Every structure is written in C-alpha cells, then in structure tokens.
C-alpha cells in the first residue's frame, strides 16, 4: 500500500472519530430534552391536579362551613325573635310617636340606650334559664317560698307582692297590645268601633292553642315561624314607609349621640317612657323560660319539685356548651337588628312627618302625635298605600306582642304559683285578665285618650322593671345558683356526650368535641363571667355567674332605672307630666 493510501485512510479514520461523538451527543441531547419535557408536563399535570384538589377541598370546606352555619341558625334561632317582639309592641309605638313629634330625632339616643339595656337584661335571663334549667319566676319561688326562717314574711312580703307586680306588668302589656291591635283594625276598617276591635283581637289566643305549648321541653317551630313572619311584616312595612317620606338622615344619625335636650322636663318624662316601653319585664320571664328548652337532644328530667336551690342540679356542661353562646348571639342580634331598628324607624317616621313635616299644622310644634294622628297625616302627605302599610305593621306588632304576653303570663303563673291546670284554661284566664280592662277602657274612653293610656301603660312597666330586674341580677350573680358540674373523669364523659349525639340527628356536640370538654371548661373559666374553685372543686364545678364588670353594669343600670322612677313619680305627683 502506498503512502497516499495510508494517509487517506488515516484522514478518513480521524474524520470518523471527530464526527462520531457529535452524532452521539445529538442523540443524548434529544433524549434529555424529551425526558425534561415529559418531566415538565408531568410536573405541570401534577400541579394542576394539586390545584384542582385544593380547589375541591376549599369548596368542600366552604360548603361544610355553610352547612354548619345553616344548621346552627336553624337550630338555635327563635328565642331572640320571640323576645324581640316585646320591644316594639303598640305601647312602644305610642311612646316613639310622641317622642318624635315633640323632639324630632333628639331622643334616638334614648332608643339606642334602652335597646342596649334590654339586650343586657335579656342575655342575663337567657343565661339563667340555660344554665339552671329553670325560668326566672321559678327561681323567685325557690328563693322566697320555703325559707328556713321567717317563712311567712318572705312569702307575703316578698314572693306574693312580686307575683302581683309581675301580673300587673303583664296586664299593662296586654292592655297596650289589645288596644294597639284594635286601633289597627279600626284604621283598616273605619266602620268598626274600638271595642269591636278588642273583641276580635282577643281571639288570637285560639291561634296560640293551635300552635301547641311554646313552653314545653322542646321548642315549637310553628310558633316561632308565626312570630318571625309577623316581625318581618312589621320591619318590611316600616322600611317601605320610611323610604317614601323625606328624612334628614344627617340629623337622624346625629340623634344617636348623647344630647342635653333629653334633660328638660317633658323630654325626660318621655325618655323614661321610652325606657319603660323598651325594657319589658314580661320578656325577661319568657326569655328565661324559653332558654331552658333543649334544642339539640331530647329533654332531660329536671328536679322541678325542689324546694330550694340546694336541692336541685343544674343542666349538664354539655347542654350549656351547646346552647349558651348560641342563645346569647341569637338574642343580641335579634334585639339590635329588629327591636332597635323598628323603634328607631317609628321615631324617625314621626319626626319626619310631624316635627320636620311640611304641614303647617304640625311642623315644629309640640303637639303629641298618636296612632290615629300618624295614620291620618301619613295618608294626607304620603298616600293611602303608606297609611295602609302603617296600619298593617301596627296590627302585626300588636298581634305578635299579644301572643307573647299571653305565653309570658303562663310562665309567670306556673313559676310563681306552680299553677297545675290545663294549658287551655290557663291561657284563657290569662287573656281574660287583659280583655276586661281593655274592653272597659275602649267603651268608656273610646278613641279620645287611647294614646295617653298607651304611654301610661309603658310608664307602669318602667315602675315595675326594677322589682323584676333585681332578682335577675341577684340570681345570675350567685355562684351557688349558676354552678355546673364538670364530669370528674373523661371516660365517663365521652360515652354520655356520644350517646347524646347519637340520640339526635341535629346535635352539634360531636364525639371529637367531647375530647376537649375539660380543656374548654378551663377556657371558659378564663373568660370574664365564668369562674372555677381552686384545689379539688376546680375539677368538679364551673361557675357561670356574673363577673365583677357585669355586676357593676347591672348595678349601675338598676340605679339608673330606680332614679328615673323616682323622678317620674315626683313629676306625676306635681302634675307636670309632659309639661
């Protein structure tokens, strides 16, 4: 082989060696790119699946939270709406119309203050019933009926006068409700006489009997739905009317601020009337009675035959945990969202139509506006439709409040006297106590003077209020009354809670929650209104009595009401009234 052949073969070999790695590298690079793309696509698909799972989990959590909220609302809403009815009855209408026509928006602060006081007392009543399983009237009997010493004096100077005052408050309340409903019927049907309207509205007791016993061991949902429907009817009608009148909203919101204008004699007298009209004694009895109902599990047997607080046991910790704070939220939101709003709307309506209205007969005058006056002026200035809505709202408020007053009378008679009779007889007699004076007033006075009578009935309620609120503050402040047993061992607690959960499909106390009962008991003890004993008692009892702040607020409110009553009686004795 010649040299040229050898060199060409060597060059060919070198060329092959130099190009072979390039081709191999391209193959490796292609494979690597494919693997990276596959890994990237798998990573992207995995992230997409993860995002989908997170979205699904988020949707599931939102749906679960919505179901839980709906379940709690459905289970625990009712007591607050029922109690809120008492705070915008026709007596409130009369006082609010008078306040707005004479002082414009200036007394809205008093409406708000009275609403907050009502929330405070109603929450105490709800707590008393939920923790102890007894209503306020039954507690008064336990406190005063069988005292070991001076039994006769405690009964005849304490228990029975307190019962008479309570019945007086209910009669005054029902008097206002019946007259208010009768006035509404007369406004809707002008040919009716006032006493005809009283007779017609008195038959709502038949509706109560048809709805069952609202004070039984379990809540009567049909009763609560009827009351809720009437409340919404009042609110909707008032909102429509307010939207059709000329309201100075800047001045209206300024009226919620404290002002010196509430101190002149006439304004202070009306302010006391607003307080008496808003904070209703009978609603405290009813609220405490309804709070004893078990909304989660079938009712348990309570020691209703006990003669003193030391002879009976309160509700279980599981019951209190499942009801107390739900009930407080229900009561507070219902009173602030319905009672305060409706009372404010009535006063704003009266101010806009009478005090700030364009009618020269009423603009800026100190003429007191009544229900008939308000209807006539709304009809003239706004229209017949708004006036009809006003009458419908008044009728709904009167009927719902009348039903509530009758049920509250049942709670008072059962609690104070342990009146053992059928529900039919008890409610008929309770209603008769209010029908007789209502008929007498309607026949003797007629339309003239009815508005003054409505305001007077609310002043009577303000006088009775401190005698009813003092036992409530006292009982909820006593550790012995507000004590709840904490199960001594977790093994004995969990089966009990689990059996309670399995006994009802609507229970909110799940087994996993019962594992933390002791921890939550300690957490409750750390809050302001709950305390536990040291040493051994710390493991056995938990106390839901009022804390020092609550006691101070309660005492201050009680002194305020008493001072207002002294002023009120002195003003009436001097014959100044609204002067």
Concatenated DSSP letters of 123-182: HHHHHHHHHHSS-HHHHHHHHHSS-SSSHHHHIIIIIHHHHHHHHHHHHHHHHHHHHHHH
537 within domain boundaries = no
Name the least confident of 41-45, 279-283, 481-485: 41-45
Report the sign of the C-alpha dihedral through residues 412, 93, 248, 367, in that order: negative
338 within domain boundaries = yes
Contact between 76 and 295 under an 8 Å Cβ cutoff? The reply is yes
Spatial distance between the Cα atoms of 399 and 396, rounded to a whole number of angstroms: 5
Q: Nearest to residue 132, comparing CAs of 321, 326, 298, 288?
A: 288
Read off the pLDDT of each residue in 369-393 and give the average, rounded to a whole number: 88
Whether the predicted pLDDT of 64 surpasses 80: no
Spatial distance between the Cα atoms of 267 and 99, rounded to a whole number of angstroms: 8
Provide the pLDDT for residue 483: 92
- The CATH code of the domain that includes 293 is 1.10.4160.10
Q: Nearest to residue 81, comparing CAs of 449, 335, 431, 344?
A: 335
Name the least confident of 267-271, 321-325, 405-409: 267-271
Provide the pLDDT for residue 531: 52
| Mean of all residue pLDDT scores within the chain | 77
Widest Cα–Cα separation across the chain: 150
The SS3 call for residue 531 is strand
Spatial distance between the Cα atoms of 23 and 29, rounded to a whole number of angstroms: 10
Q: Quote the percentage of the chain above a pLDDT of 70.
A: 69
24 within domain boundaries = no
Q: Say what the pTM is.
A: 0.77
Read off the pLDDT of each residue in 387-402 and give the average, rounded to a whole number: 90
535 within domain boundaries = no
Token couple for 323: 């009801």
Read off the pLDDT of each residue in 194-218 and give the average, rounded to a whole number: 74
Whether the predicted pLDDT of 495 surpasses 70: no
Token couple for 241: 């009317």
Query: Per the structure, how many domains does the chain have?
Result: 1
Contact between 345 and 238 under an 8 Å Cβ cutoff? The reply is yes
Q: Quote the percentage of the chain above a pLDDT of 90.
A: 27
Contact between 272 and 113 under an 8 Å Cβ cutoff? The reply is no
38 within domain boundaries = no
Token couple for 472: 């409530």
Provide the pLDDT for residue 423: 65
Distant-in-sequence, close-in-space partners of 435: CB < 8 Å, separation ≥ 6: 178, 198, 202
Digit-coded pLDDT (tens) for 400-453: 888 888 888 888 988 998 876 666 677 777 777 777 877 887 788 777 667 677
492 within domain boundaries = no
What percent of the chain is helix, strand and coil (3-state, nearest 5)?
Answer: 75, 0, 25
Spatial distance between the Cα atoms of 261 and 270, rounded to a whole number of angstroms: 12
Contact between 442 and 194 under an 8 Å Cβ cutoff? The reply is yes
25 within domain boundaries = no
Whether the predicted pLDDT of 302 surpasses 50: no
Token couple for 573: 């004795």
11 vs 209, residue with greater confidence: 209
Cα 505 to Cα 294, 493, 500, distances in angstroms: 14, 20, 10
Digit-coded pLDDT (tens) for 446-480: 776 676 777 677 778 888 989 999 999 999 999 99
Cα 361 to Cα 349, 369, 374, 381, 472, distances in angstroms: 17, 12, 13, 12, 47
The SS3 call for residue 218 is coil
484 within domain boundaries = no
Q: How buried is 171 (Cβ within 10 angstroms: 0-12 exposed, 13-18 middle, 19+ buried)?
A: buried
CA angle 558, 460, 200 (to 5 degrees): 130
Q: How many residues does the chain have?
A: 579
Whether the predicted pLDDT of 8 surpasses 90: no
* Residue 236, domain extent: 86-307+333-468
Contact between 346 and 238 under an 8 Å Cβ cutoff? The reply is yes
Read off the pLDDT of each residue in 24-50 and give the average, rounded to a whole number: 64
């Amino acid at each position: 082989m010649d040299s040229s052949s050898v060199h060409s073969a060597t060059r060919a070999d070198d060329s092959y060696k130099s190009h072979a790695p390039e081709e191999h590298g391209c193959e490796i690079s292609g494979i690597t790119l494919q693997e990276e793309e596959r890994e990237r696509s798998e990573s992207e698909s995995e992230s997409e699946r993860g995002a989908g799972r997170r979205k699904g989990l988020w949707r599931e959590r939102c749906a679960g939270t919505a179901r839980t909220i709906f379940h709690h609302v459905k289970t625990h809403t009712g007591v607050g709406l029922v109690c809120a009815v008492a705070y915008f009855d026709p007596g409130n209408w009369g006082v609010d119309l008078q306040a707005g026509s004479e002082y414009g928006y200036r007394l809205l602060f008093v409406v708000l203050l009275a609403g907050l006081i009502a929330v405070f007392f109603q929450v105490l009543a709800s707590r008393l019933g939920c923790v102890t399983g007894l209503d306020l009237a039954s507690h008064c009997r336990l406190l005063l009926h069988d005292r070991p010493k001076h039994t006769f004096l405690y009964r005849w100077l304490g228990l029975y006068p307190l019962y008479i005052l309570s019945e007086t408050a209910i009669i005054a309340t029902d008097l206002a409700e019946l007259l208010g409903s009768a006035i509404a019927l007369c406004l809707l049907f002008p040919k009716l006489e006032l006493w005809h309207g009283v007779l017609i509205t008195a038959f709502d007791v038949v509706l109560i009997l048809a709805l069952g016993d609202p004070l039984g061991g379990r809540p009567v949902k049909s009763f609560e739905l009827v009351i809720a429907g009437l409340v919404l009817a009042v609110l909707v009608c008032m909102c429509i009317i307010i939207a059709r009148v000329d309201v100075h909203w800047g001045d209206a919101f300024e009226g919620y601020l404290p002002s010196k204008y509430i101190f002149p004699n006439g304004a202070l007298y009306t302010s006391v009337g607003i307080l008496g009209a808003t904070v209703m004694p009978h609603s405290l009895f009813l609220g405490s009675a309804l709070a004893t109902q078990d909304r989660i599990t079938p009712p348990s047997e309570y020691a209703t035959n006990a003669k003193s607080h030391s002879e009976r046991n309160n509700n279980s910790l599981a019951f209190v945990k499942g009801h107390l704070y739900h009930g407080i939220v229900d009561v507070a939101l219902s009173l602030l969202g319905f009672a305060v709003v409706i009372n404010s709307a009535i006063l704003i309506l009266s101010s806009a139509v009478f005090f700030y209205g364009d009618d020269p007969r009423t603009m800026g005058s100190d003429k007191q506006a009544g229900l008939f006056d308000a209807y006539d002026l709304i009809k003239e200035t706004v229209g017949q439709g708004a006036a009809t809505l006003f009458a419908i709202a008044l009728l709904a408020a009167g009927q719902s409040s009348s039903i509530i007053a009758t049920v509250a009378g049942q709670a008072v008679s059962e609690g104070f006297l342990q009146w053992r009779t059928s529900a039919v007889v008890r409610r008929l007699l309770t209603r008769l106590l209010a029908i007789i004076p209502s008929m007498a007033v309607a026949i003797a006075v007629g339309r003239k003077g009815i508005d003054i009578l409505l305001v007077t009935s609310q002043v009577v309620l303000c006088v009775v209020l401190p005698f009813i609120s003092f036992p409530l503050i006292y009982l909820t402040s006593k550790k012995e009354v507000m004590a709840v047993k904490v199960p001594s061992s977790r093994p004995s607690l969990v089966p009990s809670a689990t059996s309670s959960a399995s006994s009802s499909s609507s229970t909110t106390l799940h087994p996993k929650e019962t594992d933390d009962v002791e921890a939550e008991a300690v957490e409750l003890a750390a809050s302001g209104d709950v305390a536990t004993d040291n040493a051994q008692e710390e493991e056995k009892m938990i106390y839901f009595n009022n804390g020092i702040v609550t006691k101070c607020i309660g005492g201050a409110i009680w002194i305020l009401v008493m001072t207002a009553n002294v002023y009120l009686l002195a003003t009436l004795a001097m014959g100044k009234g609204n002067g």
